[in-house]
A and B are shown apart, each in its own frame.
Chain A
Amino acid sequence: MEALTRIAHASIRVAAELTPAEAKANAAAQMAGLAYGLAAIGPGIGIGMIFGKAIEAMARQPESAGMVRTTMFLGVAFTEALALIGFVAFILLKFA
């Protein structure tokens, strides 16, 4: 707790020394990073659910494993596209 307080005080001290433009750039960088992190959470949960259900289906019906794996692979790739869009938005906001 004490360490957190010390970090917060240090951050406030650093923020107080920044010019408004630097503070704005600093906040934009933090928000862009936060947005990318949030964008990766949803697909992570989605991929976990897809794989969980696929494993369950393959365990119940091993003869349909090929079909399930095909669906699973495409589902994961589509879900991953969301994370890629979040990443691209982060890169464009931060660097472009």
Chain B
Amino acid sequence: MGASLQINSLGKSYGPSQAVASVSLDIAAGEFVSLLGASGSGKTTTLMMIAGFTPPDAGEIVLDGQPITHLPPERRGIGVVFQNYALFPHMNVARNVGFPLKMRRVSAADTARRVTEALARVGLAGLGERLPAQLSGGQQQRVALARALVYEPGLLLMDEPLGALDRSLRETMKTEIRRLHRQLGITIVYVTHDQEEALTLSDRIALMDRGRIVQIGSATDLYERPVNAFVAGFIGESTMIGGKVVRDGEAGQALLPAAGGPPLPARPGALREGDTATFLLRPEKASLSAADAPGSGLRATVQDIVYVGEISRLTLRLDGGPELTIKQPNRADAYQARIGEAVKIDWAPDDAVLLAA
């Protein structure tokens, strides 16, 4: 079963540069949490501290109620999967997978049985005699997974495990990782710079920037309710417009763009009228109609259309105001605009967010 993990105010500096600045995380048993961020955001350093490879300067790590902050890595019993697989090149697959059992002095018969099981679990039954160099990248990563899981750790750490694989293989491995997580009920902390991996795999995502967690929450939280412009910009596409908060109707709010143009309706939030703010709208949230169609909406002109298959990406300029990007599905029942055409754009105020600038 999975182990719970608490991280309290973990910090690590290299000379004057702070790699991780006071990171706290509370991960429930069996949860899948991704640390998402650009390189240098501190996500890998955080993972290395959990694994025990990097000693923290400050803070505490608690695994299943036991403080492990100062335990050497070999006594933590945590499984680790590395980006470049880190298989032992001089050992065949079976000996690689059996290595953790050998270190735990498991009998030869038990080892053989558990290695066979572990290999079957990752879909590599019968390849025990191969050397790592004789396997494809995807197979090598499966061996690494089997090796990290063979001694049934409560916590599995994965450091960009799909980074070295090509695109189609990444999809297969993602499905595989999801299946293993469901089947084994293991807790997983997963480091990645790829937002799509994080969104599709995780129960919760911790978005990191400059050594701190900027926001932690479900994929929906981060996408629909980003706490600031950094999160909004990192996850998914968005149009962001700066301006001032104004009242809109009875209880609504809108943003009056600094660059001019009509007020843009948005979900009322913690900001007050007159505050400087950033208006955020995801491109798929807006809909387009003919300029003379009935109903609400703002008038705009189509500046550019890029066809990308399932959707087209349109750049619109609001009359007298800023530009917006929207995605329009390429379906016969969706309004198909032409460049230069005057149109009407509309969105539900609840789909637009006002962020503190």
A binds B: no
